[in-house]
Amino acid sequence: MASWKNKMLSLGLSAAMTVSMLASIAGVASAATVTVGAGSYTNTLPAGATGPQSTIYKTSSVTGAVPTNDWWSSLAWKQYSDVMFPHPFGIQAKADGLGVSYPVQSASADAMFGAYSLDFTLGSSASSSFPDTRLDGYSDWTVSMLWNNGGGGTMRVTSGHGVPYLYATYAGGNPKLTFSSTPTVWSGSASSNVLGVTVNGHHYALFGATGTTWSGIGSATLTNNLGGKTYFSVAVLPDNTTATLNAFKTYAYSFITDTQTSYSYNASTSKVTTTYNVTTSAKEGTQTGTIFALYPHQWKNSSNSLLSYTYNSVRGTMKTLSGSSFSTTMTYQGILPYLPAVGSYNASTLNSQIEAVRTEANHTVGATDTYWLGKYLGRIANLLPIAQQAGNSAAVSNFESYLENTLSSNFNASGKSNNLFYYDGNWGTLIGYPASYGSDGELNDHHFHYGYWVRAAAEVARNNPTWASQSNWGGMVNLLIKDFANWDRTDTRFPYLRNFDPYAGHSWASGDSPFADGNNQESSSEAINAWEAMILWGQATGNTTIRDLGISLYTTEVNAINEYWFNTSGTNFKSGYNHNYSSMIWGGKSVYATWFSADPQAIRGINILPVTGASMYLGYNPTYSQSFINQLQTERGNNNWNMWPDIFWEYQALYDATGAIALYNANTGYTPEDGETKAHTYSFLYNMQALGQVDTSVTANVPTYGVFKKGSTRNYVAYNAGTSAITVTFSDGKTLSVPAGQIATSIGSTGSTAPAITSLSPTSGPVGTSVTISGSNFGSTQGSSTVKFGSTTATITSWSASSIVANVPTGLSAGSTNVTVTTSAGTSNTSAFTVTAASSPAISSLSPTSGPVGTSVTISGSNFGSTQGSSTVKFGSTTAAVTSWSASSIVATVPSGLAAGSANVTVTTSAGTSGAAAFTVTAVSGDFSVSITKSGSNAIFTFTPTASGVATTAPIIHFQSTALYGGAQQNVYMNAGSGGTWTYTVTGLSTGNVVKYSFTYNKNGIQQPESAQQTFTF
């Protein structure tokens, strides 16, 4: 159902009352009509209609359609934004800058919060108040905001989902941070460019450009003195250790300039892979990539190596990784356009229920706005194939005509001012009239509304391909899809994926997000209805681009729903929250409530409807599904549902169809939910009784399929949208012949043969050992199959029907264990494996054996373990960043802060620490030489360039001594000497004082990494 701030309509209102509350549109507009195939839309706002506001708070850098329904949408709609939640941050654009928060986590009986509570405001010394904040750029999950005082003072900040950094650039002013109270500075000083601070128990790193200094330490306002530089960044830190600050410093100057997701669907494995890419620009040095913070639906489905840092969020624990990209792989479990007629229902009863709908005076039984008319279209689209199965040709003809005529009429704007679509070129959106729930003025809920329309069009296309051709009405259907899920980045008429948030993994309903809790979505099931519609429309019309995007969005959002709405894993909800389900997800909270009713039936049912052949995901976890209904029954005191009983019976049928049928038979006089019919509910219940529960252990190589298990038998279903017969192959080896345009079943199959292990190689080894398991009946792809060593699941690196390669899992003690393979057909015989005590790692060689800080070193040896996990590499006592790890080879970077000289390299795993391998840290060679002259209590440092283009502007000397400045490192520009040299005098030294020093300089105009730290004794 719609998630709109003013939506208070009960779904139980009469049609007349609903109509009376909708805005009427009267008069005839003089409109410019744009033809699309046989249809058309208008590009002139119809007379009396409401459209979105004309003002868009954006700069000239933003062209084309403007995204809406995003986590940052209020930025474009308002002078200053409402609160936005790019987790792990909470932020708000204000007159004085960007309010920054690490959201405070809490819970009450009916809500979980990750609330914005101001820690500091990131502003500019150029202005204490800016006239507005404007959208200055965006990408798939980031946004750039611009503050401009009109007099040369600007601040531009980029933020994004899963980005623990804020990237800022300045003109005409310096970064000015105003804290809610005086922060504790636990790293750095006034003369260092980087500070570590804590305020309100939250830890941040403040990264000024190299050579910059700070003023205001000890007060609630800190200013970074840029000294001609233009960039600055902030990181929210998981803790307040220097090691963590230094790890985040690695990417602090690697500014994100673009983010982009790409999706791929592999039919043969039924897997959806999503790749998340970032493009970065190095403000200092040459570092690329960033640190990502992943949501639970991402890190649970990613094989990328994770870092040890985590964040708390309202969605659950966010885990981190570093690099320029990561990917997730999820299983697509298939959908069906309708269920096969395999139930033991009474044919006469079903036909009378179909006839009751056929003989209605008007299938559009209430309001005609785009939401309610969409529901009525969906109602008949669900009933049409049932009429075909029942052989009721009169009903089939009636339903087909209703769908075709209703769609065609509304897809024609010629000479009309109502029941048409209008394209707003300012925002880049297609708005249907009559509108409702803010779908016009605020651009709310387009995926909810139009999903029903596309689903109805897909059913027409299944039966009448000519109607659906692009030269007829198919062009208008594609245009509707482009409005809520534009797949073509080059088509700037519409934003890319308006409603779907690629990083959050789910959709947002509010177009303008005018809330203190961020954006929101209530009816996740109506979002799924939109992606189902895309799959079926793409399948019916041969458009695999639309189909495969629909599969990707469906699969991703199903995973997100199970994590954040249903919490089927049990790991994401907070203590103190009293429910096993959240009905509405916000940027800053999750709640047990709806926009329109406090009835727990409404609160739960809104994330079930509409029930279709794509609703099987609601039964992926039958134990959870039963607990969902049990809690509803406890909340109401009984299971005599008096609101949407058919929706709850259908949901129950996914885990207990017989029980659902008993409830149905006890209340056959019920009133159907507005988008339902008694015929659909009746047939659904009995068909599910015959099919059984959803079996997620088996997949198929077509998009439209379902696998079910009833007792010990497996039931297979597949639909063929093509014009010739196909053979569908299931992952357990089952094949099913499906005629063109038909649905086929195999009911009562005992399934495939259980897997059998014939040998292991090797038969013993420590944790991390790669073991080849040979045998039969493993299945051609892994799917949801597993390998276990004892009771511990192993990580798989290769899988085929007769051979699996798995790693001995961590956590196993030395001794004997049994290996088993489990597939959908059962569990194999056991095969003995001996876990041996892990051998300590051993280094055989380093390459190279010397080099400056930043050198990439390959460490060869044995017993490193197949993945890094918590293992480390150290140069001396300093932990190195690792870029690659395998059992016999590690690639690590010589860490910063090391002095020139010997630094032994060691590898530490859970089995122990290796012997040391000698490495020599060298000063940066070839670019410069350094001489130091004593004079009294002074040390005069002379920096002499030895290569062309080096230090054409003043280099920076970084020096530190316990005898000076309280031991704080100093960062100062050197002075011009003679003959192109640069000098700096360190004063106040005594005999025996040790000075550590290094340099930052440019070469051919490019700033070089800080040189290796060296030591001088006075």
Q: Are residues 540 and 633 in the same domain?
A: yes
Strands (E), 711-778: 713-719, 726-729, 735-738, 743-749, 756-761, 764-765, 770-776
* 563, 506 Cβ separation under 8 angstroms: no
* Residue 476 belongs to a domain: yes
What is the rounded CA–CA span in Å between residue 729 and residue 268? 9
Reported as a single tens digit per residue, the pLDDT across 943-992 is 999 888 899 889 999 999 988 888 888 988 999 988 889 999 999 999 88
- Beta-bridged to residue 232, according to DSSP, are 168, 208
Looking at 921, 944, 968, the residue that finishes a domain is: 921
Q: Out of 82, 522, 676, 732, pick the active-site residue.
A: 522
Q: How much of the chain exceeds pLDDT 70, in percent?
A: 96
Q: Out of 440, 526, 557, 732, pick the active-site residue.
A: 526
**How is 333-368 classified by DSSP, letter by letter?**
--B-SS--S-S---HHHHHHHHHHHHT-S-S--S--
Residue 302, both tokens: 């990613």
Q: Report pLDDT for 750.
A: 63
Whether the per-residue pLDDT at 437 is higher than 80: the answer is: yes
Strands (E), 172-210: 175-179, 184-187, 194-199, 202-208
* Residue 5 belongs to a domain: no
* 736, 727 Cβ separation under 8 angstroms: yes
Q: Are residues 224 and 281 in the same domain?
A: yes
Q: Which residues contact 763 (CB under 8 A, 6 or more apart)?
A: 832, 833, 834
What band does 839 get if pLDDT is binned at 50, 70 and 90? confident
Q: Report pLDDT for 283.
A: 97
**How is 660-702 classified by DSSP, letter by letter?**
HHHHHHTTTTPPPPTT--HHHHHHHHHHHHHH-EE-TT--BSS
Burial per residue of 863-887, b for 16 or more beta-carbon CB atoms within 10 angstroms, e otherwise: bbbbbbbebebbbbeebbebeebeb
Q: At 412, is the secondary structure helix, strand, or coil?
A: coil
Taking CA atoms, 987 is separated from 205, 273, 962, 964, in Å, by 30, 60, 13, 9
Q: Report pLDDT for 752.
A: 67
Q: Are residues 207 and 339 in the same domain?
A: no
Q: Report pLDDT for 257.
A: 98
* Residue 65 belongs to a domain: no
Q: Report pLDDT for 4.
A: 37
Question: For residue 113, how many C-alpha atoms fall within 13 Å in the half-sphere facing its CB?
Answer: 13
Residue in the structure block whose two tokens are 């005409």: 172
Taking alpha carbons only, the member of 481, 430, 472, 423 closest to residue 42 is 423
Q: Report pLDDT for 923.
A: 66
* Residue 854 belongs to a domain: yes
Minimum mean pLDDT range among 311-315, 624-628, 1001-1005: 1001-1005
Q: Are residues 308 and 373 in the same domain?
A: no
User: How far is CA 612 from its chain centroid?
Assistant: 26
Q: Are residues 685 and 745 in the same domain?
A: no
What is the rounded CA–CA span in Å between residue 197 and residue 182? 10
What's the total number of domains in the chain?
6
Strands (E), 512-591: 520-521, 584-586, 589-591
Domain with 542 in it: what CATH number?
Answer: 1.50.10
Reported as a single tens digit per residue, the pLDDT across 343-354 is 999 999 999 999
Looking at 809, 835, 861, the residue that finishes a domain is: 835
H or E stretch including 505?
none
Q: Are residues 565 and 476 in the same domain?
A: yes
Q: Report pLDDT for 849.
A: 85
Q: What are phi and psi of 869, to 5 degrees?
A: 55, -125
* Residue 803 belongs to a domain: yes
* Residue 48 belongs to a domain: no
Domain with 166 in it: what CATH number?
Answer: 2.70.98.30
* Residue 405 belongs to a domain: yes
Residue 777, both tokens: 């009946």
705-715 average pLDDT score = 96
Angle separating helix axes 446-463 and 393-410, nearest 10 degrees: 130
Question: For residue 183, how many C-alpha atoms fall within 13 Å in the half-sphere facing its CB?
Answer: 29
Q: Are residues 591 and 728 in the same domain?
A: no
What band does 850 get if pLDDT is binned at 50, 70 and 90? confident
Whether the per-residue pLDDT at 22 is higher than 60: the answer is: no
Quote the domain boundaries for residue 985. 928-1017
Q: At 576, is the secondary structure helix, strand, or coil?
A: coil
Residue in the structure block whose two tokens are 């051998």: 839
Q: Are residues 666 and 738 in the same domain?
A: no
Q: Are residues 573 and 487 in the same domain?
A: yes
Let me know if 48 is exposed, middle or buried by CB neighbors in 10 A (0-12, 13-18, 19+): middle
Q: Please name the amino acid found at residue 608.
A: I
Reported as a single tens digit per residue, the pLDDT across 51-105 is 999 999 999 999 999 999 999 999 999 999 999 999 999 999 999 999 999 999 9
What band does 925 get if pLDDT is binned at 50, 70 and 90? low
Q: Are residues 476 and 366 in the same domain?
A: yes
Reported as a single tens digit per residue, the pLDDT across 365-390 is 888 999 999 999 999 999 999 999 99
Residue in the structure block whose two tokens are 């195939």: 37
Residue 884, both tokens: 């690659």
Reported as a single tens digit per residue, the pLDDT across 689-705 is 999 999 999 999 999 99
Q: Are residues 736 and 792 in the same domain?
A: no
Q: Report pLDDT for 837.
A: 87
Q: Out of 140, 445, 656, 676, pick the active-site residue.
A: 445
Taking CA atoms, 160 is separated from 84, 236, 699, in Å, by 10, 13, 35
Q: At 329, is the secondary structure helix, strand, or coil?
A: strand
DSSP 8-class letter at 47? T
Reported as a single tens digit per residue, the pLDDT across 124-155 is 999 999 999 999 999 999 999 999 999 999 99
Minimum mean pLDDT range among 487-496, 814-823, 901-910: 901-910
Is 445 designated active site? Answer: yes
Whether the per-residue pLDDT at 14 is higher than 60: the answer is: no
What band does 926 get if pLDDT is binned at 50, 70 and 90? confident
- Residue 567 backbone zone (phi > 0: left; psi -120 to 50: alpha; other: beta): left
What is the rounded CA–CA span in Å between residue 422 and residue 429? 8
Q: Which residues contact 198 (CB under 8 A, 6 or more apart)?
A: 183, 184, 186, 204, 240
* Residue 29 belongs to a domain: no
Q: What is the pTM of this model?
A: 0.79
Looking at 300, 331, 362, the residue that finishes a domain is: 331
Q: Report pLDDT for 13.
A: 30
Is 526 designated active site? Answer: yes
What is the rounded CA–CA span in Å between residue 385 and residue 396? 8
Handedness of CA 391, 392, 397, 401 (dihedral sign): negative
Torsion of CA 544, 550, 555, 560, to 10 degrees: 160
Q: Are residues 883 and 916 in the same domain?
A: yes
Q: Report pLDDT for 348.
A: 98
Residue 193, both tokens: 């460019």
The distance between the two most distant Cα atoms of the chain, rounded to a whole number of Å, is 110
Domain with 911 in it: what CATH number?
Answer: 2.60.40.10
Taking alpha carbons only, the member of 83, 80, 62 closest to residue 139 is 62
